[in-house]
Amino acid sequence: MATPPASDPRVILRSGLPDQYLTPDDIATMFKVPKETVYQWRKKHTGPPSFRIGKHVRYDPVAVHAYIAQRMADDRTAA
């Protein structure tokens, strides 16, 4: 099978996307909170940024990492 040329939009799009997006279950496991808490964070816009793919909620791992880093920085400045 031939590899698409670098100018192919599919290659350009894939180069900026993670291999796998996180689910609410993943976020709940990471933060050791109930899944309902993750949904409340989404509803209140207080947790990591999320988006929908159809009816499914997903989280970009890079955005989650940035959210954690920001929370840690906020904690350091508040202390």
In tens, the pLDDT along 4-46 reads: 555 555 555 555 667 789 999 999 999 999 999 999 999 999 9
For residues 69 and 66, give the distance between their C-alpha atoms in angstroms, rounded to a whole number: 5
Q: How confident is the model at residue 57 (pLDDT cuts 50, 70, 90)?
A: very high
pTM for this prediction: 0.75
For residues 20 and 74, give the distance between their C-alpha atoms in angstroms, rounded to a whole number: 28
Query: All domains of the chain, ordered by start, with CATH?
Result: 18-78 (1.10.1660)
